Each structure stands twice: as C-alpha cells, then as structure tokens.
Chain A
Amino acid sequence: MTERKKNAFKKQFLSEGSEWTFDLLAKYDKKISELAEEFRLDTYPNQIEVISSEQMMDAYASIGMPLMYNHWSFGKQFLGTHKNYQRGTMGLAYEIVINSSPSISYLMEENTMAMQALVIAHACYGHNSFFKGNYLFQSWTDATAIIDYLLFAKQYIQTCEERHGTEQVEQLLDSCHALMNYGVNRYKRPVPLSPQQEEAQQAAREEYRQRQLNQLWDTIPKTKRPKDEKIQRFPAEQEENILYFIEKNAPLLETWQREIIRIVRKLSQYFYPQKQTQVMNEGWATFWHYTIINELYDRGYITEGMLLECMQSHTNVVYQPDFDSPHYNGINPYTLGFNMMRDIKRICQNPTEEDKEWFPNIAGSDWEKTLDYAMRNYKDESFILQFLSPKIMRDLHLFGIRDDQTKEHLKVTAIHDEQGYQELREELSAQYNLGNNEPNIQVYNVNVRGDRSLTLRHYMHDKRPLNKEPTEEMLKHIHSMWGFPVKLESIDDQVVIQCWECPDKTTEEILGKAS
C-alpha cells in the first residue's frame, strides 16, 4: 500500500453508519465514478438495481441474465442454490454484473453501506470497464443488443412451446445445452448479434436454409456424373462449431428447430469471452475496488471502520488455500488475477533487477497505461504467459504436477525457483487454455451419398481420453438432432484409439467391421 496521505485531505465522510439509503448509494456512486474517471476507467453507463436475496437466487438460476427462456435445468440450478443458501453452506455473491449497455449490476439489499460501495467499485467500474475494453468482448459480443436478443429468444422459444409442445422444445434445448461448449467459433470472428434485424431476417433465413439443404441432400440422380469426380469429404474443412454445423446441415430438422439451435449458439458465443478471461476480469475488478476504496479512505470520504470492513471482505475474496488444505479447490482466480494486476503496478513503479530482466518493456513505465494495455489486449492464457512474474510464483509457492497414467508416481515438473519459472509459467498458462481443458471435437465428415451418418473426430490432447458415460449421452443428443447415425473417433497421432457410435456399437464392432 502506498503511504497514507491522511493529512492531505480534510475528512468529509459521506456517511458514518452501516445502513444504506438510495441517496447514499447515489452519493457514493458519484464519488466512485469521479475516482474512476481520474484513473481513466472507460465504462458503459451504469444501471444499479437493488434486489432481495430471493431475486438474487432467481438471477443465479438464469445464468445471471435478467431474462431468459424457460428450461428445467434453470429450475434445477435454482433448487440447488436455494437449498445451499438455506442450509448456510453457501453465501450469495454480493453482486452480479451483466455485460450489456447500460451495464446492469445487481446489489443485494442485505449488504451494508460499506459492502455496497465495494460492490459499486468492483462491478460498476471494475467489471464494466473490462467488458468495454477487453478485445474479446469487443469483438465477440454486442453489449447494446444482448438484452433485446434475450427478449427475442425468450419470446421465440415461448411461441415454439405453444406451437410444438413444451416437451419437444425441451428435448431440443437439452441437446443444445449439452453441446453449448461446441457452439462457438474459436477463431473465426462472428458478426455481432443484432436483434432487430434478427427478427426481420428470420423468415428469409428459414427459406434460404431450406433451399441450401435441398441442394445438399438432393437425391435425384444426376444424368451425367463426371467419372473422375473424387469422393470429397463434406464439410471440406473440419468444423469446430458443431451446433452451427447441425443448424445448417442436419437433414431432418424443421426450421424452428434450427432457429432454436441458433439461439443457444449465439448465447454460448456471448458467454465465451467470460470463460476465457475469468482471471483477468476478476483480477481487474478486484484491483480496482481495492484501489478505489483505499483512495476513498485516503481522501477522507469513508471512515476507518468502513475501510476495515471492505478490506476484510476483500481479504476473504482473495484467500487462496494451499493445495493440501481441505478447502482447496484449484487456484482462486481472484487471488491470481489481483496479485498479477498489483504486481504489474509494482513492476512499473518499483522494478527490481529481476523485473528489469524479465519485463524490460514495462519495468519503470506508467502503471496506469500498462495495466490498461494489458486489460485490453489479453485473455487469461496469454495474460499469464506474458505477465506472470517470478515474484508471484514465489509468493504463491506455485508448483507443477504431472500425472501420467502410465507411470506409477506423480512428478513435480517445476517449482518456484530459477530453473522452474519459465516452465511453470507455461504450464499455468496452458491450464487456462480452454482448448486443452475441453476435449477438441470437430465435425469430420458426413456420408452424404450413403447412410447420411455424421462423423466427429476427437483430437486427443496429452493422450487424454473422453469420459465414457457422458460421451455416450452426448452422442444420443447429437443423434437426436442429426437424425442419422453419429460416430465419434478419438484420434491420437492419426490413429483411431477409440470409437463411439449412436445407435450403440462398441469400439471393437466398429473397428472390426472396418477391417
């Protein structure tokens, strides 16, 4: 912490008690926004909504969105949250913030004034500026349109339920949800969603889709087929976005079903950046609530008691249990993110010899600019690879463990020492690479002229196989959408290791038949 400039400002507390009122909220928000402006945080306009804990649980249940179509899985989520909350095994988050413009933040009515201030700094200025600034959010989501799109989706699905029956729609949604992680384009940049056009274009899209399908599945024999026609795979290039592929090419789906698949796909794409920037996003917001609250105190706007309350809660948030603690549940993204953000500031302000060697570009630079740059241009994976300093690794006592099923023992690959820094950093970065964590599965081929079967390929990473039961379930879901046999092959080094097929067949049967 920087030196307290206690005497520089006269004390003029905004409030003293712990109760909040709407007037006070506005007053605090104004002060915090002034500070945020000084720190050059660029945000969407804010919309702060005060809600009760029941409403917070409702919000939890619909992935935090203010409106969402109906589905039993959200009900399940709600029941689970409700239960845990009643039992006291789980506290509710202090806030939820939505990547929209205006950015909507929910504050819980139970919070004290100090907590509300902390949350405003964290959500309304921290997360908000991240949503607006980070390149992933900028290029993959359209904050101004999401709420309208959700409304469109909700209404569309409701109409479908009325027209085709809740059960049918539910089954389709089940399948779509199962494939949600495979409904995103990882590399291709999509056109941002635009709901007004969305509705207008929908009819046109239906017709176009059908025409395209007719071409693909055309069964009228061609009078003259060139003899040298090579048997080509379809799609010619593998498709990573399975939902997209099904939406466009599944032979038997009705247009409304394609539209629903599209809705789920679009939502998945909307959430994709959040999954990729968890450490950065939380780190950034935590860094700013920490900085702003301290600044408020230094300027005499909040009392010492309030500062202590905020700091206590802050400490809880960034608590990282050790790997051997019973509370350990992986690396806490708040801790890692916050420490890294603060470390970047330190490197800029007081670089050591080590820092100068590791970060020649940023050591001694303007910290606000450097942080801003980092926030805008990285995602977790690249952020860690670029900015994780030896000091952080030492502070957190990081170490890497390799679990190779073929070996008897686990191996410590690297620890926080001179030889280990580089490797440790790469390992941690890879841990945040979604491509490594989620099995890499792509659409490989469709037997267009034969049994219309769909073949997916799983490209194994580090020889890691798929989990048996869920995979079987997944194939059933894909099969129900595709309508014809679905195959899945796990490939390692161009060799098929394992096969699944729906309707059921074992690996042996499939391979036996092939040979």
Chain B
Amino acid sequence: MTHIIDRRLNGKNKSTVNRQRFLDRYKKHIKEAVNQTIKQRSIQDMEQGTEISLPSRDVSEPTFHHGPGGVNTRVHPGNKEFHQGDQIARPPSGGSGGGSGDGQASNQGEGMDDFVFQISQEEFLDYMFEDLELPNLVRKQLKDATNFEYHRAGFTSSGTPDKLNVVRSLRNAHARRIALGGKKRKRVKEILDQLVDLEEEQSESQQDNTNEVIRAALIQELEELRHRLGKLPFIDDFDLRYHNLIKVPLPSTRAVMFCVMDVSGSMTQAIKDIAKRFFILLFLFLKRNYKQIDVVFIRHHTTAQEVDEETFFYSRETGGTIVSSALELTAEVIEQKYNPSDWNIYVAQASDGDNWDDDSIKCAKLLMEKIMPQVQYFAYVEIGSRFHQNLWEEYKQVAVAYPDLFAMQDLTDAADIYPVFRELFERKEA
C-alpha cells in the first residue's frame, strides 16, 4: 500500500538553524572575508549579497585518514594499452591519472579548494557594519522628539466605541451579574430544595393543607426572585472597558545626508571615485538606521550648486576652489528644507584639501556658527596623498570644539575607504 503525500507546502527552511549556526561558528572568518570583498568590489554591487570563501582547512571536520605512503592498490576502468607487470611513471600528485588516487578523500572537504557559499545582502551589510553605530543618536531621540506614537497601555473605563475591548467588558458584566444576583440566586436554590423536600413529605403523609400553603408561598417567592434576576441588565455602562492609549515620543526616523564634494580642477576622476565610494558606504549605513533618507548633493568649485546624483559624480564642469560656497549652500538648504527637530542631518564632505587661502578661515567660522549646531554628524575626508593644507588645519580646530560631532580623516586610496569609514563610526565606549 502506497501513500502519496504532497509536502511542498511544508516549510522549506528546515536548514535555517543549522545555517545560522555555521555562520555564527565562523563569524570571525566570514567577517574577514567580507572585509576582503569590500576592498575588491566596486561600490555599486555592495548592495548585493556576496560569495564568501573560506579556506576549506578551517571548516573541515577531521576524521582518521590514510596519509600518503605505504602500498596502495586500486582498480581502475578503461584500460587501453597496459599489460600485467608494466611499470608506469608516477603521475604528478593530485592528477586524475591512474594510481595517485586516494579515491575516498575528497568528499570530506580535504581538497585544496576553498569552501564557497553565498550570504544575502542583509547578512553582508550586517557583517560590514557590525560594531558601527551612528554617533549622537541618543540626544536626538530623547530631547528633540516631535513625533508621537500611540501605544496601548492597559484599560480605562471611558473611551470611544472603536477602542472597546469586548472581552474585558463582558467579563466585567459577568462579574457584576454574579455579584448582584448572588443573594437571590442562593435563595432560589434554597426554595428549590425546600420544594423537593415538601414533595417527598407529601408523598409520605397523605394530604396536608399546611404544606400546600407553604408550597404556594414558596412558589410565589420563587417567581418573584426569578423575575428580579431576569431584570439584571446583561451589560451596563460601567462594565465597559476601553483600550488605553498613551502618547510615546517617537525619535525622528528621517535623515538627510548631504554629500559635499569639491569638483575643482585638482579633483581627478580617481579621487572623485574614491569620494563616491565613501558616500555610498555612508548612504548604505544610514539606510540601515533610518526609514527615510534624503540625499542632497552639493558640489562646488568657486560657486556651489545643488545637483542630482548623475551630475554630481560625472559632470566635467570645473574651476577654482572656494569651499565656503558649499558650506553656505548647505546651511541654506538646511534652513529651507530640513528642520533639525524633524530631521537627522548628516554631512559628509570630500575634498582634496585645496582651497583658496583666505577662505579656509571663513569655512571654519561657518561650520562653527551655522552648521555644527544643526547636524548630527559631520565627516570630512581628505583624499589624496599630498600634505595637508590650511583647510585641514582650520578644520582641526572645529574638531576640537565639537569632538563628538565632527570627524576628519584622510584617505589615500580605495582600499582605505572601509577602514577609515569604520574608524569614523566605531562604536565608542560609553
């Protein structure tokens, strides 16, 4: 007798637990692999999952094996020219030729190949941003909260019908009916018992008038009680219970990210590319923390412009350098569109450090007065291997004034991006 069962609707993720255990076990290795990948990969496909490759030695499960050596006789198919007693040169080790084969070895992952597997985008980003956090979130969440959310918190006796909790209300009604009717119900029971007794007596001793009178009185009382009990209302106003809602301040889940970049003549495409990678990394990171993110692209040479992404990265317009123009524009945009009490504001500025000499002082001033009080975090990266110019020096002072909100780092090539990024957002000990 055969049973045919359709199991396709059963869960297909039976291996999830085991998979997770594997990932946990090799967390350190995987993180290392992820870091490697980030260095090699172009930033565009950061958002996809990735292939992780671990040395199979690390993940192998040992068993007792025969090692090389000794005498090993094996039978193979497909003989073409050999005769008994032939001597054959030993094939290079590991070759597929006859003789070297340690036939049973490979299925345990003892081979030289790496163990390769896929992790999802979500997991990839998890590993990538692990131990990183957005600085200064606490302040924003508690102090400046302007949005509220309603949360349930127990029950109240007044409210609107849509908040009515039926179960609670009926339970109250039930309790009230028990409480109010208790005495009467007890009496009803007594009467019923008495009536039964009377009936028995009656059957024993023949006709008795007194009994008949008592009986009639009891029945009348019984009916009255039942009538009263019936009058108890099934549900009353004060039985009703409503869900209680309280207002909970909600941290703003919106963030805006300003990408500020110098596009003057000294910024080569290579430098812009590094800057872009940095911006995207920051964007991905913010995306994991906020529901909604606006990105504002501001580029500048001698004047600043708010542009779209395409122009920001690829336009070839160029000129001299006045950094303050960009900062001014940033402050302006914040004032117009992004109220700091509603928005978490992040600014990332990338530059090669070049600036019009007198302008750097102005920049520092702008930052100190207008921008820094508004933003969550300001990250400045200087790209290029040359020595620092006066912009860097000025910015250093800002960093001293706002040690928690302002960070600056320099980047020399693409491989540095991720480490620098990590440094900027490393979780700080409280």
Q: Using known A-B contacts A26-B4, A397-B78, A411-B85, determine if residue A82 contacts B117 with beta carbons closer than 8 Å.
A: yes
Interface stretch, picked from A212-220, A308-316, A412-420, is A412-420
Q: Using known A-B contacts A58-B15, A178-B61, A470-B62, determine if residue A109 contacts B8 with beta carbons closer than 8 Å.
A: yes
The reply to whether the CB of A49 lies closer than 8 angstroms to some CB of chain B is yes
Give min CB distance, B55 to chain A, whole Å: 13
Central interface residue in A58, A124, A323, by most chain B CB within 10 Å: A323
Task: Flag if A439 contacts B64 (CB, 8 Å).
Answer: yes
The reply to whether the CB of B98 lies closer than 8 angstroms to some CB of chain A is yes
The reply to whether the CB of A399 lies closer than 8 angstroms to some CB of chain B is yes
Chain B residue nearest to A462 (CB atoms) is B71
The reply to whether the CB of A164 lies closer than 8 angstroms to some CB of chain B is no
The reply to whether the CB of A265 lies closer than 8 angstroms to some CB of chain B is no
Give min CB distance, B11 to chain A, whole Å: 8
Task: Flag if A322 contacts B77 (CB, 8 Å).
Answer: yes
Chain A residues with CB under 8 Å of B106's CB are: 329
Give min CB distance, A186 to chain B, whole Å: 15
Task: Flag if A178 contacts B63 (CB, 8 Å).
Answer: yes
Interface stretch, picked from B86-94, B136-144, B394-402, is B86-94
The reply to whether the CB of B84 lies closer than 8 angstroms to some CB of chain A is yes
The reply to whether the CB of B210 lies closer than 8 angstroms to some CB of chain A is no
A interface footprint on B1-41 (CB within 8 Å = 1, 0 otherwise): 11111111010111101111111110000000000000000
A interface footprint on B282-296 (CB within 8 Å = 1, 0 otherwise): 000000000000000
Task: Flag if B4 contacts A25 (CB, 8 Å).
Answer: yes
Task: Flag if A438 contacts B64 (CB, 8 Å).
Answer: yes
The reply to whether the CB of B233 lies closer than 8 angstroms to some CB of chain A is no
Chain A residues with CB under 8 Å of B182's CB are: none
Task: Flag if A417 contacts B84 (CB, 8 Å).
Answer: yes
7 contacts between A and B (CB under 8 A): A72-B21, A83-B51, A166-B21, A182-B64, A323-B79, A397-B79, A402-B73
Chain B residues with CB under 8 Å of A323's CB are: 76-79, 96-98
Chain A residues with CB under 8 Å of B2's CB are: 26, 29-30, 33, 45-48, 124
Task: Flag if B19 contacts A79 (CB, 8 Å).
Answer: yes
In chain A, positions 229-272 with a C-beta closer than 8 Å to chain B are none
A interface footprint on B40-77 (CB within 8 Å = 1, 0 otherwise): 00000000000100000001111111111111111111
Give min CB distance, B2 to chain A, whole Å: 4
Give Cα distance in the complex from A178 to B5, angstroms.
36
Q: Using known A-B contacts A22-B6, A48-B3, determine if residue A75 contacts B19 with beta carbons closer than 8 Å.
A: yes
Central interface residue in B59, B78, B97, B118, by most chain A CB within 10 Å: B78
Give min CB distance, A37 to chain B, whole Å: 12
In chain A, positions 437-458 with a C-beta closer than 8 Å to chain B are 437-439, 441, 458
The reply to whether the CB of B161 lies closer than 8 angstroms to some CB of chain A is no
Chain B residues with CB under 8 Å of A419's CB are: 84
When the two chains form the complex, which single residue of B63, B64, B71, B97 contacts A402, counting CB atoms closer than 8 Å? B71
Chain B residues with CB under 8 Å of A182's CB are: 64
Chain B residues with CB under 8 Å of A473's CB are: 62
Chain A residues with CB under 8 Å of B165's CB are: none
Instruction: Give the B interface residue count (CB, 8 A).
Output: 68
The reply to whether the CB of B115 lies closer than 8 angstroms to some CB of chain A is yes
Give min CB distance, A116 to chain B, whole Å: 10
Give min CB distance, A440 to chain B, whole Å: 9
The reply to whether the CB of B153 lies closer than 8 angstroms to some CB of chain A is no
Chain A residues with CB under 8 Å of B390's CB are: none
The reply to whether the CB of A510 lies closer than 8 angstroms to some CB of chain B is no
Give Cα distance in the complex from A70 to B20, angstroms.
10
Task: Flag if A405 contacts B88 (CB, 8 Å).
Answer: no
Interface of chain B, main secondary structure: loop
Give Cα distance in the complex from A424 to B82, angstroms.
14
Task: Flag if A70 contacts B21 (CB, 8 Å).
Answer: yes
The reply to whether the CB of A18 lies closer than 8 angstroms to some CB of chain B is no
Task: Flag if A322 contacts B84 (CB, 8 Å).
Answer: no
Give min CB distance, B71 to chain A, whole Å: 4
Task: Flag if A78 contacts B73 (CB, 8 Å).
Answer: no
8 more contacts with CB within 8 A, not counting A75-B19, A461-B70, are: A22-B4, A45-B3, A170-B25, A331-B75, A399-B79, A405-B69, A463-B71, A474-B63
Chain B residue nearest to A242 (CB atoms) is B64
Give min CB distance, B235 to chain A, whole Å: 46
Task: Flag if A462 contacts B70 (CB, 8 Å).
Answer: yes
Task: Flag if A54 contacts B12 (CB, 8 Å).
Answer: yes
Chain B residues with CB under 8 Å of A48's CB are: 2-5
Task: Flag if B18 contacts A412 (CB, 8 Å).
Answer: no
B interface footprint on A47-59 (CB within 8 Å = 1, 0 otherwise): 1111110110110
B interface footprint on A84-119 (CB within 8 Å = 1, 0 otherwise): 001000000000000000100010010000000000
Give min CB distance, A271 to chain B, whole Å: 14
Give Cα distance in the complex from A508 to B66, angstroms.
21
The reply to whether the CB of B231 lies closer than 8 angstroms to some CB of chain A is no
Task: Flag if B96 contacts A431 (CB, 8 Å).
Answer: no
Chain A residue nearest to B22 (CB atoms) is A75
Chain A residues with CB under 8 Å of B24's CB are: 72
The reply to whether the CB of B135 lies closer than 8 angstroms to some CB of chain A is no
Chain B residues with CB under 8 Å of A86's CB are: 118
Give Cα distance in the complex from A323 to B80, angstroms.
10
When the two chains form the complex, which single residue of B18, B89, B104 contacts A74, counting CB atoms closer than 8 Å? B18
Task: Flag if B115 contacts A415 (CB, 8 Å).
Answer: no
The reply to whether the CB of A320 lies closer than 8 angstroms to some CB of chain B is yes
When the two chains form the complex, which single residue of B14, B23, B60, B72 contacts A464, counting CB atoms closer than 8 Å? B72
Task: Flag if A415 contacts B83 (CB, 8 Å).
Answer: yes
Task: Flag if B97 contacts A466 (CB, 8 Å).
Answer: no
Give min CB distance, A187 to chain B, whole Å: 19
Task: Flag if A400 contacts B15 (CB, 8 Å).
Answer: no
Give min CB distance, B344 to chain A, whole Å: 37
Give Cα distance in the complex from A398 to B110, angstroms.
27
Task: Flag if B84 contacts A55 (CB, 8 Å).
Answer: no
Give Cα distance in the complex from A464 to B65, angstroms.
10
Q: Using known A-B contacts A79-B117, A397-B77, A412-B85, determine if residue A57 contacts B15 with beta carbons closer than 8 Å.
A: yes
The reply to whether the CB of B100 lies closer than 8 angstroms to some CB of chain A is yes
Give Cα distance in the complex from A156 to B23, angstroms.
24
In chain A, positions 389-432 with a C-beta closer than 8 Å to chain B are 396-405, 408-417, 419-420, 424, 427-428, 430-431
Give Cα distance in the complex from A461 to B73, angstroms.
11
Q: Top 8 closest A-B pairs, CB basis?
A: A322-B78, A464-B70, A75-B22, A75-B18, A467-B67, A79-B117, A473-B62, A463-B70
The reply to whether the CB of A181 lies closer than 8 angstroms to some CB of chain B is yes
Chain A residues with CB under 8 Å of B61's CB are: 73, 174, 177-178
Task: Flag if A398 contacts B76 (CB, 8 Å).
Answer: yes
Chain A residue nearest to B25 (CB atoms) is A72
In chain B, positions 211-235 with a C-beta closer than 8 Å to chain A are none
The reply to whether the CB of A226 lies closer than 8 angstroms to some CB of chain B is no
Chain A residue nearest to B110 (CB atoms) is A470
Chain A residues with CB under 8 Å of B66's CB are: 437, 439, 464-467
The reply to whether the CB of A468 lies closer than 8 angstroms to some CB of chain B is yes
Task: Flag if B15 contacts A78 (CB, 8 Å).
Answer: yes
The reply to whether the CB of A321 lies closer than 8 angstroms to some CB of chain B is yes
Give min CB distance, B8 to chain A, whole Å: 5
When the two chains form the complex, which single residue of A70, A405, A409 contacts B70, counting CB atoms closer than 8 Å? A405
When the two chains form the complex, which single residue of A331, A410, A416, A441 contacts B64, counting CB atoms closer than 8 Å? A441
Chain B residues with CB under 8 Å of A49's CB are: 4-7
Chain A residues with CB under 8 Å of B65's CB are: 439, 466-467, 470-471
Give Cα distance in the complex from A329 to B254, angstroms.
58
The reply to whether the CB of A363 lies closer than 8 angstroms to some CB of chain B is no
Give min CB distance, A449 to chain B, whole Å: 29
The reply to whether the CB of A328 lies closer than 8 angstroms to some CB of chain B is yes
When the two chains form the complex, which single residue of A50, A74, A170, A405 contacts B7, counting CB atoms closer than 8 Å? A50
Task: Flag if A324 contacts B97 (CB, 8 Å).
Answer: yes
The reply to whether the CB of A477 lies closer than 8 angstroms to some CB of chain B is yes
The reply to whether the CB of A512 lies closer than 8 angstroms to some CB of chain B is no
